[in-house]
Amino acid sequence: MTVVDFHARIKPGDAEPGRLLAVMDAAGIDRAAVCAGGLLPLDRLARQLDDGGRTEAAADNEGVLRACERSAGRLLPFYFADPVRDVEAYGKHAFDFRGLEISPAVHGGRLDDPAVAELVAIAESARHPVYVVTVAQPGARPADLVRLAARFPRVTFVWGHCGHTGLDIAGLHTVEGRPNVLAEISGCLTVTARLAVTRLGAARVLFGTEYPLQAPEVELCKVAALGLGPSDREAVLGANACRVLGWEASWTRP
């Protein structure tokens, strides 16, 4: 079974991708989808989750791309897009990447912003999944994600962390009826992850770690605690990610 971390972050530099790959090896994770991290201090991110706001710091998407190129195929780059300024750049470089992240928590804004629709339209043409963490701010809640997903039924949307509270059961109910929205379970409580599998079905649930903010072993223990049968466990830990990302589920490390 190939284990795939659908959501890890790296701050590009001399230590990457070696540091992340070493962590993956220690945890038994074969491959990972990665996005730029370190855009703002954690205390500011926490405030923005509660109160809104945005950072003007730019994601080092090119650095992520270079790190992934040095990973022997184990890391897959996502483009971290700021709707205010990255529509043109993402359109120009989309086919160098394998997915898109839009984060109201980091860049503020609303999911009904025309610029967000432009980004998703580019993702659709590139056949990218779109990773979104919803927040409590107007325009960026689970219902707003569902409305966006309904406009783009051929795009796979991934609801990051099952919301931002760890216990967003109401949000889980909201996304349940929108089949092109999948749930990524890093950071949420075990009860939320279990309900995600029960309500959405194992085929719509993705394992992730939120490295480096979370130890991958913690998230693997959470999946183990769900008590899934072999086929559902395989789906959550890797097969679903391979399907969404276009990877071979039988891939083995070089």
- Examine residue 253 and state whether it is found in any structural domain, yes or no: no
- Examine residue 188 and state whether it is found in any structural domain, yes or no: yes
Instruction: Report the Cα 153 to chain-centroid distance in Å.
Output: 18
- Examine residue 36 and state whether it is found in any structural domain, yes or no: yes
Instruction: Report the Cα 9 to chain-centroid distance in Å.
Output: 9
CA distance 224 to 216: 13
- Examine residue 252 and state whether it is found in any structural domain, yes or no: no
DSSP 78: E
The string of pLDDT tens digits covering residues 33-57 is 999 999 999 999 999 988 899 999 9
The model's pTM: 0.96
Give the total residue count for the chain: 254
Domain with 228, as residue range(s), is: 4-245
Find the helix or strand (DSSP H, E) in which 120 lies.
helix 114-126
- Examine residue 15 and state whether it is found in any structural domain, yes or no: yes
- Examine residue 60 and state whether it is found in any structural domain, yes or no: yes
Q: Domain of 95: which CATH number?
A: 3.20.20.140
pLDDT at res. 88: 98
- Examine residue 62 and state whether it is found in any structural domain, yes or no: yes
CA distance 71 to 133: 26
Spans of the chain below 50 pLDDT: none
The string of pLDDT tens digits covering residues 235-249 is 999 999 999 999 876
pLDDT at res. 1: 86
Tally of domains within the chain:
1
- Examine residue 169 and state whether it is found in any structural domain, yes or no: yes
